[in-house]
Amino acid sequence: MIITISREYGAAGRAVVNGLAERLGYRLLDEDLPVVVAARLGTSPEAVDALEYQKVGFGQRLLRSFSTAVPEAFQPASELDDLNAVTRREIARLIHEAADADNVIVVGRLGNILLCDRANVLRVFLTAPLRWRIEHVIESLGCTETIARAEIARVDGGRRHYAREQYDFDWGDPHYYDLVLDVSRFGVDGAVALIDAARGHHG
């Protein structure tokens, strides 16, 4: 069985996936993914990690205009696009390799879309009310409410934009998931138990 976990920022996703991996004994494809992809491509994990939150907007349009005028001073946008495409393909390849091995939890990276053609995939989305998520981020990071709000908007906005731009789907739309869980209602342990129960009935 393959379980993909998508999550709103601040919805205790890390605690849920760690608890689920421990309960099931599944491999967890999460923080090690950018490290492996970076090693394969000869880049940094930070560069791979940033791809999910990269927006194509004014900056990249400006880069395109400058690269046309002064090509020796800027990396051409086409090369940047090619690098992003190569990185996305490598991420997809690694996720499919993990899925081939079975018994894996794929966290983020739009695994629910990349693996949508496989029958043995349970696609989960973790959510919670904004107020609950803000309080969770404040507690986890020891930051102010202003920072917590900004970080939630930044991370979720990046995920939503990446899904729309690269895969043409609405991130968080329940139609793209088999199970949508409000972690604030069920708690971390309850969410883990419900995902496990859904796994047993899936397919």
Instruction: Kindly state the average pLDDT of the residues 27-36.
Output: 72
Segments in 25-76 forming alpha helices (H): 32-41, 45-50, 58-69
Tally of residues, the chain: 203
**Residue 165: which pLDDT band, with cuts at 50, 70 and 90?**
confident
Per residue, what are the HEC states of 78-114? HHHHHHHHHHHHHHHHHHHHHHHHCCEEEECCCHHHH
CB of 21 closer than 8 Å to CB of 145: no
Buried b (16+ CB within 10 A) or exposed e, 148-157: bbebbeebbe
Positions of E strands within 115-172: 121-127
Confidence of residue 88 (pLDDT cuts 50, 70, 90): confident
Confidence of residue 185 (pLDDT cuts 50, 70, 90): very high
Q: How confident is the model at residue 163 (pLDDT cuts 50, 70, 90)?
A: confident
- pLDDT of 67 higher than 70: no
Q: Please give the helix or strand (H or E) that residue 123 lies within, else none.
A: strand 121-127
Roughly what angle, to the nearest 10 degrees, separates helices 32-41 and 77-101? 120
Single out the residue of 177, 194, 182, 127 nearest to residue 156, CA to CA: 127
- Whether the predicted pLDDT of 159 surpasses 80: yes
Range with lowest mean pLDDT among 4-13, 19-28, 48-57, 178-187: 48-57
User: Quick one: average pLDDT of 107-111?
Assistant: 87
For residue 30, which phi and psi values (nearest 5 degrees)?
A: -140, -95
Domain 2-201 CATH (choose: 3.40.50.300, 3.40.30.10, 3.30.980.20, 3.50.50.60) = 3.40.50.300
More confident residue, 85 or 6: 6
Q: What percent of the chain has pLDDT over 90?
A: 52
State the helix-helix crossing angle for 77-101 and 58-69, rounded to 10 degrees: 130
Residue boundaries of the structural domains of the chain: 2-201
Q: What pTM does this model have?
A: 0.79
| Residue 22 CA to its chain's centroid (Å) | 20
Q: Report DSSP state, residue 101.
A: H
Non-local CB neighbours of 26 within 8 Å, separated by 6+ positions: 1, 3, 20, 103, 104, 105
Model pLDDT, residue 130? 97
How does the average pLDDT of the chain come out, rounded? 82
* Model pLDDT, residue 36: 65
Mean pLDDT for 123-148 is 96
Position 109 scores a pLDDT of 82
Q: Are 153 and 135 in contact (CB under 8 A)?
A: no
Amino acid at 20: L
Question: Is 143 within 8 Å of 32 (Cβ atoms)?
Answer: no
pLDDT, average across residues 82-109: 84
pLDDT for 66: 42
Check: CB of residue 60 under 8 Å from CB of residue 80. yes
